[in-house]
Structure 1
Amino acid sequence: MKTVLITGCSSGYGLETARHFLSQGWNVIATMRSPRAEVLPRSERLRVLALDVTRPESIAAVVEASGPIDVLVNNAGIGLFGAFEATPMATTREVFETNTFGVMAMTQAVLPRFRERRAGVVVNVTSSATLAPMPLVAVYTASKMAIEGFTASLAHELGAFGLSAKLVEPGYGPGTRFAENGGPRMQGLVPEAYAPFAQSVFAMLTQTDAVTTGLDVAEAVWRAATDGSKQLRYPAGPDAVALARAGERGS
């Protein structure tokens, strides 16, 4: 029976991914900053652990407590919406600490164990903003683009040891609590001068019918973790798939 460790499981894509792997008979280590086991089905194959990917001691404790794992899913992330002009550099660094450096730190922590066993898959969840950048999410997009480049390069390193690194690129998901999870860091990031433009962007998002669900992402993560192929990118959701295909045609 295989084991997956998933970060950011309290809601959204991480929660749905944990449910999906459980339904497929895997052992699941679901991590959250503030553990809430009640959001997941009761199962002897489930463990819920506290994890803050910005704290090295928290990462070390979780990796040690997890024992051997077969797949690491780096899903934990924070959102940010606002004009870059109004975004403090401290906020930019906060986003990168979770979305970029947290992913790198988690990956680095498990790689020695994967390499010793010559088996393991790292799945990094980014965003369709890396396929077609959107306005007012420059910092968020940059943090995810960094992981795209990191993973593409890492895949070559890991291949020498029979390991894999994959990317899952979710589309626009209204159910992810993106704005809610952004919290106080988003306050004041849309100055008056940007308000009309921001309203047009919001209107565009609310009018779209092609949205990504948690199950779309969970199924894409499952494919990335289990298909055994050398495929690097897995767009998730109809909008992300369409963007990926458009990019292939334009290349």
Structure 2
Amino acid sequence: MPTVLITGCSSGFGLETAKMFLEKGWNVVATMRRPSSDILPVSDHLTILPLNVTDPDSIRDAFAQAGDIDVLVNNAGFGAAAPVELIEPETARELFETNTLGTLATMQEILPKFRERRSGTIINVTSTVTLKPLPLVGVYRASKAAVNALTESLAVEMKPFGVRVHIVLPGRSPATSFGNNAMPHLRGMDNTDYKPMIEGMIAGFRKESGPLTYAADVAAAIWRATIDPGAPLKIAAGEDAVQWMAEAEQP
């Protein structure tokens, strides 16, 4: 029975993806910074482990306890909304340490095993904000765009060794904690130039009409990347994400 390790399973996309793999009969290693045993169904096929992707010791310990895995899903991350001019340097560093370097670290932990056995799949969850410039998410967007670039190069490097690598790009979702996590880092409401822009962004984010991405959309895209050897490198997840990707690919 194959095994998947998923980071960031405490809520949203990661939680839904863990549930889906359990329903498909897989062994699931669900990781999160602060493990909770009551958010996932009780199953002999489920292992819940602590994992902080910014802590090398935590990564080594989690992968050692997980044993052999067939698929790594890098979902852990957080968002922050602020003008590039005003974002706190500490927040910028944290975004890259978690979203970019954390993803790199987990990949480096598993890649030697995948390469040695000539099989394995890595799926990195980024965002459709990487497809076009948007205000107030510049540093977050940069941290996710960096993951796209890493993944694109890694796909080329791993192809001779039979290791598949994919990017899943969700759109705007009401099902994640992005907004709650991003708001504490918000800067600029006291700036007369930026305030209207920020108020518009907040209103747009809270709007739940129109095309959206739901956690089930992301789980389905991850499943496609897992089981379909012909899946594309980049997979849009969600109705709005599909639209954005189509627009981005137009000449």
> TM-score if structure 1 supplies the norm length?
0.95
Residues 81, 189 of structure 1: 8 Å contact kept: no
Which residue of the partner structure matches residue 228 of structure 2? 227
CA distance in 1, matches of 2:69, 2:188: 40
Q: How many Å separate the matches in 2 of 1:38 and 1:189? A: 38
1:137-148 aligned within 5 A = 137-148=137-148
1:116 aligns with 2:113: no
CA separation of 1:175/1:230 partners in 2, compared to 1, >3 Å: closer, same or farther?
closer
> Is 1:84–1:136's contact at 8 Å kept on the other side of the alignment?
yes
- In the aligned structure 2, how far is the partner of 1:145 from the partner of 1:172? 16
Q: How does 1:84-95 map to 2 (within 5 A)?
A: 84-95=84-95
3-state secondary structure, aligned to 2:123: strand
Q: Which ranges of 4 or more aligned residues in structure 1 deviate by more than 3 Å?
A: 187-191
Report the Cα distance in structure 1 between the residues aligned to 2:124 and 2:219, rounded to whole angstroms: 12
Deviations 1:69-123 (A, max 9, x none): 0000000001101112111222101110000000000000000111121110000
Contact 2:224 2:231 in 1 (8 A): no
CA drift of 1:135 comes to: 1.0
Higher helix share: 1
Q: Specify every segment of 5 or more residues in structure 2 that has no aligned partner in the other structure, as ranges.
A: none
Equivalent pairs: percent with the same residue?
48
Give the direction of change, closer, same or farther, for the CA distance of 1:37–1:133 in structure 2 (3 Å limit): farther
Offset, 1:187: 4.7
- For the residues of structure 1 that align with 2:188 and 2:74, how far apart are their CA atoms? 27
Q: How far is 1:226 from its partner?
A: 1.2
* 2:80 and 2:186 in contact (8 A); partners too: no
Superposition RMSD in Å: 1.3
Preserved contact between residue 71 and residue 120 of structure 1 (Cα < 8 Å): yes
Aligned partners of 1:86 and 1:191 also within 8 Å = no
Distance in 2, matches of 1:39 and 1:189, equals 36
Q: Within the alignment, does 1:218 sit opposite 2:211 as a pair? A: no
- 1:241 corresponds to: 242
**1:48 to 2:79 alignment:** no
1:147 partner amino acid: V
Task: Tell me which residue corresponds to 1:61.
Answer: 61
1:192 has 2:167 as partner: no
The residue correspondences of 1:64-79 to structure 2 (distance < 5 A) are 64-79=64-79
Whether contact under 8 Å (1:131, 1:247) holds in the other structure is yes
Cα separation, 1, equivalents of 2:118 and 2:158? 9
1:191 CA displacement: 3.6
AA aligned to 1:192 is N
Alignment match, 1:39? 39
Structure 1 residue ranges without an equivalent (≥5): none
Q: 8 Å contact 1:151–1:167 — kept in the other structure?
A: yes
